[in-house]
Amino acid sequence: MVRASRRQFALGGLLGGLSAVGLTARVGYEAVALNPYRPRLERVELRLPAGHEALAGLTIGFVADTHVGPSITPEDAFRATSLLARQNPDLVLLGGDYISESPRHAEPAAAVLGELVRGAPLGGYAVLGNHDCGERGRDLRVTAALEAVGVPVLRNRAVAVDTGRGVLWVAGVDEAIMARADPERTFAAIPTGAAALALWHEPDFAAQTAALGAFAQLSGHSHGGQIRLPGIGPLILPSGGQRYVMGLNVAAGMPIYTTRGVGVYLPPLRFRCSPEVTLVTLVDR
């Protein structure tokens, strides 16, 4: 009931603004009440560096920006993660911004994400987003909630994942806006020539991980803009999410994939920008 009332409030306040850009009431209603709750499964292939062809075929479930809170319930997040669970990914990576507004949402969000990770043979790893950090030790509570359900949080740390067909390094860079991102420290322990996949909430700094040897990066943060108008594109983009807004792009010669994310933040609506979870497949050259 709380979620429904918030949606109704948002609908009433935003329909006028949507009308100002020529959208009908029906389109406005869908943008507020329907589109944010209709997640899609996207698929992307990332090419492995030479010498690591044995990792080809490995699948990674990627989820970011669940934003469990006033507009997105744990049930909404579960609807999205279920799309990935049915694909049986080998490994799960989580890209940050699991909660919105209050750290009290950390445990419910982690419960949903932990269930997804437990279904993956190789488990999963997470980095934090800007909404997971801030006042009152929010980052510590979110980290504790994730690690309590078996999801290690990488804060400027890399881990070697033995896949049974080779080693994949996951390089988790800490949040760049509200924490202290340190890519150099993150990559310090990764051997030269290793297959290193960067995981960083903000996409726009991807050239730094490319310079340090990552063969690809996974990011979130931008939500794809949430509102994408024909002929105009995204109306609002956050700092750190303005260059590689969504989908597959290239930063300093390195592929970077930016998910549109599962949840929403202000304004709590989506137009021509559906929520997503992503199935990444590693392929050889």
Q: What is the pLDDT of residue 23?
A: 55
Q: Is the pLDDT of residue 13 over 80?
A: no
What's the rounded Cα separation, in Å, for the pair 61 and 90?
8
Question: 59 and 200: one domain?
Answer: yes
Question: 20 and 77: one domain?
Answer: no
Distances (CA, A) of 166 to 3, 152, 192, 210: 45, 21, 15, 21
How confident is the model over 241-257, as a mean pLDDT? 98
Q: What is the pLDDT of residue 220?
A: 98
Give pLDDT tens digits for 207-247: 999 999 999 999 999 999 999 999 999 988 999 999 999 99
Q: What is the pLDDT of residue 135?
A: 81
Question: 212 and 260: one domain?
Answer: yes
Question: 245 and 108: one domain?
Answer: yes
Q: Is the pLDDT of residue 80 over 50?
A: yes
Q: What is the pLDDT of residue 32?
A: 84
Task: Give me the number of domains the chain comprises.
Answer: 2
Question: 151 and 228: one domain?
Answer: yes
What's the rounded Cα separation, in Å, for the pair 209 and 207?
6
Question: 59 and 90: one domain?
Answer: yes
Q: Are 189 and 161 in contact (CB under 8 A)?
A: no
Angle between helices 106-118 and 74-85 (to 10 degrees): 10
Residue 77, domain CATH:
3.60.21.10
Q: Which helix (H) or strand (E) holds 112?
A: helix 106-118
Give pLDDT tens digits for 132-164: 998 879 999 999 999 999 999 999 999 999 999
Q: What is the pLDDT of residue 4?
A: 40
Q: Are 276 and 262 in contact (CB under 8 A)?
A: yes
**Tokens matching residue 216:** 């690809």
Tell me if residue 178 falls in helix, strand or coil.
Answer: coil
Question: 145 and 98: one domain?
Answer: yes
Range of the domain at 14: 1-37
The gap between the terminal CA atoms of the chain, to the nearest Å, is: 51
